[in-house]
Amino acid sequence: MNRLEQYIKEQSIVLNENVLKVDSFLNHQIDPELMLYIGQVFAELFSNAGVTKLLTLESSGIAPAVMAALEMKVPLIFARKRKSLTLKDNLYTEQVYSFTKQEVSEISVSRKFLTDDDKVLIIDDFLANGDAALGLAGIVKQAGAQIVGMGIVIEKAFQPGRQKLLDLGYRVESIARVASLKNGEVQFAPSDYSDKLNAGPLQS
């Protein structure tokens, strides 16, 4: 069991068979040491991918993605869910459906931050149906940039998102893969690289 899986086992709350609450360490309160570990794992997994930019979606993806960007020494862009006075023109935009919020959002990235020379690693906090990852991929495609992979913090392996991404040819690496939330208990799917993800932080 890797360190993220331990956090999930000990600190998450299973709300029902489809929803896992992780607000004590990821998407409300943030555990910085855990985020550092996650960033180190992504940096190791994609160390040979030639990444020039990281892309995530506000707000829960920012903490793990910024740690990965720090380890990889590349800029991080986060797609905005709401336009502002300083972000309203010359944008790449996509529509994204949120499973947890049951609503559609328009996400935006300024065109000046992505070019056709970039090799982009997409980071997402959760993978369920794949809508957020596909929306971010759409933005990268609009820029003519290359997607080198999808780094997922927590994957719900019993939902179809991973297969959608694989069918489109994307590389998907999930640090924790949840196989089931039945009977209020988290069960994990096996990881192909569990040897790399030990219980302590990786070394930089």
Check residue 201 and give its pLDDT: 45
196 in a structural domain: no
Give the integer Cα–Cα distance in Å for 42 and 139. 21
71 in a structural domain: yes
Check residue 87 and give its pLDDT: 65
Give the integer Cα–Cα distance in Å for 100 and 106. 16
Query: pLDDT class for 204, splitting at 50, 70, 90?
Result: very low
Check residue 63 and give its pLDDT: 97
Query: Residue 34's closest CA among 58, 15, 55, 10?
Result: 10
Give the mean pLDDT of the chain: 91
Inform me whether the pLDDT recorded for 135 exceeds 90: yes
Contact between 1 and 9 under an 8 Å Cβ cutoff? The reply is yes
Check residue 101 and give its pLDDT: 73
Question: Containing domain of residue 60, as a range?
Answer: 3-82+89-188
What is the pTM (predicted TM-score) of this model? 0.91
203 in a structural domain: no
Query: pLDDT class for 126, splitting at 50, 70, 90?
Result: very high
Check residue 118 and give its pLDDT: 98
201 in a structural domain: no
162 in a structural domain: yes
121 in a structural domain: yes
**What's the CATH code of the domain at 113?**
3.40.50.2020
Which stretches of the chain are DSSP H helices? 3-11, 32-45, 62-72, 131-143, 161-167
Give the integer Cα–Cα distance in Å for 144 and 115. 7
Q: How many domains does the chain have?
A: 1
Q: Using CA of residue 64, residue 70, residue 72, residue 76, what is the dihedral sign?
A: positive
Phi, psi of 140 (to 5 degrees): -60, -40
**What is the number of other CB atoms lying within 10 angstroms of the CB of residue 59?**
13
Ranking 83-87, 89-93, 194-198 by mean pLDDT, the lowest is 194-198
Phi, psi of 136 (to 5 degrees): -65, -40
Phi, psi of 103 (to 5 degrees): -150, 160
Contact between 36 and 203 under an 8 Å Cβ cutoff? The reply is no
Query: pLDDT class for 88, splitting at 50, 70, 90?
Result: low
Query: What is the tens place of the pLDDT at every residue in 136-145?
Result: 999 999 999 9
109 in a structural domain: yes
Residues 6+ apart with CB under 8 A from 102: none
Check residue 186 and give its pLDDT: 98
